[in-house]
Amino acid sequence: MSYPASQRPVAIWLLICCAAILAMVVLGGVTRLTGSGLSIVRWEPITGVLPPLNEPAWEQVFQLYQESPEYQKKNRGMSLEGFKTIFWFEYAHRLLGRLIGAIFLVPLLFFIARRRIDRSVIPKLLFMFALGGLQGALGWYMVKSGLINDPHVSPYRLTAHLGLAFLIYAYLFWVALDLLYPAQSSTPAQERLRLSGLAPWITLLVFVTALSGGFVAGTRAGFAYNTFPLMDGRWIPEGMATLDPLWRNLFENVTAVQFDHRVLAVLLFVLIPLFWWAVRRQPLPRRVRIGSDFLMVALGLQLALGISTLLLRVPVVLGAAHQGGALLLLTACLFVWHQMRQGAAPSSSLRTRGL
């Protein structure tokens, strides 16, 4: 579908929302790695906007935390000052989530009121807003799993929360690309059709790898087997099928979870360069070629972050950056896939050179 040029401000607004979600994903990693995610034991979407403003308020919030399993089993004896440190990380994470909602909703209402949004796009934007609300509820559902008996959130809920963030980001980014780069009328060449058919599979593999990273985080598997490329001196470590039923090992067995994440990363390490090489050999539009170059850079950065995070036993900065790097890699995949679908003819210079 072709959109008028007046949709460009709408696209830029959606890209700003994407940047905010990227910041949210990185901050979420910081919150998890600093052990701050269970410091606020109540979900107060409206009144929770304001932090404690005086000492009695701080004492009240701290008292609620002292009744939680995390304090009772992990942080007993923590001082109020120590609690404030973890509180601010979780508070910033929740506040940024609310700000993203405002960044999305206020311009949306403005654009609708001024009739600046194509009518066919409005249902997509409303669906995005609904997904954002669902993400907030899912975040609290995740936190609740660590407030009952075991002071650790469910790896299933954590991965669902992370996965939905990636899906919302991908949907926003895709719609923004539709508005910025309307489809062209020319028909793609056969080779380009084959490459564009491969792009969604690589994108899906990146997403699945990110989900497997959620289970690595949820099971704390990154703190085990801190060597690379071998695990405990083996290519295929022992103990990957100790849980019953067998399927649980994929999601709960620390050894299997980390091994699966490594295997998926290696697949990306093989497939993306092959895809890049195939793109470079075809007379494709400049944006596709630039996007494929960015895809290679994002892959190299993400692999470097992943290996460094593992070898150094998951320092906060590297762990959070690795989580954000996954979203950058997904961004590159989405951009290349989108541009390949658009049908724009290659530039004359590329045709002349046969590239």
pLDDT of residue 161: 97
Whether the CA torsion 101, 137, 21, 87 is positive or negative: it is: positive
pLDDT of residue 350: 40
The distance from CA 184 to its chain's CA centroid, rounded to whole angstroms, is: 30
Residues 252 and 200 reside in one and the same domain? yes
Amino acid at 128: M
In this predicted structure, the answer to whether residue 259 has a pLDDT above a threshold of 60 is yes
Confidence of residue 189 (pLDDT cuts 50, 70, 90): low
pTM across the whole model = 0.91
Q: How far apart are the first and last CA of the chain?
A: 29
pLDDT of residue 355: 34
Residues 201 and 236 reside in one and the same domain? yes
> 312-329 burial, b for 16+ CB within 10 Å, e for fewer?
eebeeebbbbbbbbbbbb
Residue ranges of alpha helices (H) inside 220-345 are 249-252, 254-280, 286-311, 316-341
Residues 1 and 147 reside in one and the same domain? yes
Residues 156 and 211 reside in one and the same domain? no
Residues 28 and 64 reside in one and the same domain? yes
12-35 pLDDT tens trace: 999 999 999 999 999 999 999 999
pLDDT of residue 199: 92
Residues 168 and 225 reside in one and the same domain? no
Residues 15 and 137 reside in one and the same domain? yes
Judge whether 285 and 263 are in contact, CB under 8 Å: no
How much is the average pLDDT of 288-296? 95
Judge whether 299 and 274 are in contact, CB under 8 Å: no
Which of 140, 164, 182 is the endpoint of a domain? 182
Confidence of residue 245 (pLDDT cuts 50, 70, 90): very high
Residues 98 and 202 reside in one and the same domain? no
Contacts of 348 by beta carbon, 8 Å cutoff, 6+ apart: none
Residues 233 and 355 reside in one and the same domain? yes
Residues 128 and 250 reside in one and the same domain? no
How many domains, the chain?
Answer: 2
Domain, as residue range, for 287: 185-355
Cis peptide bond prior to 346, omega within 30° of 0: no
In this predicted structure, the answer to whether residue 1 has a pLDDT above a threshold of 80 is no
Confidence of residue 282 (pLDDT cuts 50, 70, 90): confident
Confidence of residue 197 (pLDDT cuts 50, 70, 90): confident
